[in-house]
Amino acid sequence: MSSARTFAEQLLSKADIKIGGNRSWDLSVHDERVFNRVLRHGTLGLGEAYMDGWWDVEKLDEFFCKVLSAHLDREITFNATVFFSVIKAYFFNLQSNSRSKRVGEQHYDIGNDLYEAMLDKRMVYTCGYWGAPSTGSGQAAARMLDEAQEAKLDLVCKKIGLKAGDRVLDIGGGWGSFAKFAAERYGASTVAITISKEQATLGRELCADLPVEIRLQDYRELDEKFDHIISLGMFEHVGPKNYREYFKIANRCLKDDGFFLLHTIGFNLSVPAAEPWTDTYVFPGGVLPSVAEIGKDTEGLFVMEDWHNFGADYDKTLMAWFKNFDAAWPALRDRYDDRFYRMWKYYLLMCAGGFRARNLQLWQVVFSKDGVPGGYKSVR
């Protein structure tokens, strides 16, 4: 038995995971080289080895929940891959205007057919708001995903006090899901910006004949006033070097009596660089903010009126997305190969495990420019 495998067995035992065990979270190894690969390249090596079929586990979400709950990720963080990721992030702005387009091309432009199969009927690619735990399956589960996403969109509208005639900016508007909802349910108009050509094209079709403008535009190009500003699941692409500029632009574009709602995945620690596997295969340049970073970079620009964490709901959302993706795979595999299937499965279920372990958070933060007279009335 190699020393690398012995180390792995000892480490995994801290999370009650066995190599060759028969429980749904136990590891099955198909290639012994996986142990040295993980020690050498950390999370990048672990993910690539899974994509290559070197190891399997019956339920990846349960495996990652146990790994992250036991904080095993902190025990093998120092390796060459992580070191160079941090060095690059320190010296370069990896989310600059020119570099930011990469995530649009690699992730969001990958194919609308994939997202249409995976998401709810409104194509909302952010965390749903589930409320009571769900036990349904099949068509009932699909309806519950639709309802959870509509509940989230409605929650956003209520938190900013949206009313008919308001003009809203949606930074990272995707396929126009919020814009369409705000127009149909509240009579508002929206300018939604995205850096994805595929999202913009389909979004314009979905929002035809509504007071919705979908622009192919970077947030740094904005300079006009709006009654309210929202940003759902885009801030993860901004990067620490750009946080302050992002909030300055939001402040500049927001009317004095308006609200700015930031909806973002968050991390429990302040980290300077992207996680290597997701940076390489899923979200190039994606970095999760911390509470401290958001607080520091909004200082002097906004008053924080409300901070709502419903990260546990992202576990449910991701599991629903995976069920949809898995069921649709036979129809998708002609366009995406089997290695892509393993990559996408790994991405969705790893994230679900991270939220279940409370390693990842989902925050909705409501800001005003100068504070609401008499106080902000929270709606949840």
Q: How far is 7 from 16, CA to CA, in rounded Å? A: 14
pTM of the model: 0.92
The answer to whether residues 251 and 301 touch, using CB atoms and an 8 Å cutoff, is yes
CB within 8 Å of 102: residues ≥ 6 apart: 284, 285
Burial 68-93 (b: 16+ CB within 10 A, else e): bbbebbeebeebebbeebeeebeeee
Q: Write phi, then psi, for 265 (nearest 5 degrees).
A: -70, 140
What amino acid occupies position 103?
V
**Domains with residue ranges and CATH for the chain:** 3-78 (no CATH), 97-368 (3.40.50.150)
Q: What is the dihedral of CA 46, 52, 56, 62, to 10 degrees?
A: 50
Q: Give which of 202, 220, 198, 207 is closest to 178, Cα–Cα.
A: 207
Q: How far is 46 from 56, CA to CA, in rounded Å? A: 11
Q: How far is 134 from 137, CA to CA, in rounded Å? A: 9
Can you list the residues of the chain whose pLDDT is less than 70?
A: 1, 76-103, 132-142
Alpha helices of 160-308 — where are they, by DSSP H?
A: 177-186, 197-206, 243-253, 276-281, 291-298
Q: What is the pLDDT of residue 225?
A: 98
Q: What is the pLDDT of residue 176?
A: 98
Q: What is the pLDDT of residue 77?
A: 56
Instruction: State the catalytic residue, choosing from 157, 207, 253, 351.
Output: 351
Q: What is the pLDDT of residue 131?
A: 77
Beta-sheet pairing, 303-309 with 360-368: antiparallel
The answer to whether residues 178 and 203 touch, using CB atoms and an 8 Å cutoff, is no
Q: Is 157 a catalytic residue?
A: no
151, burial (CB in 10 Å: exposed 0-12, middle 13-18, buried 19+): middle
Q: Give which of 216, 351, 330 is closest to 281, Cα–Cα.
A: 351
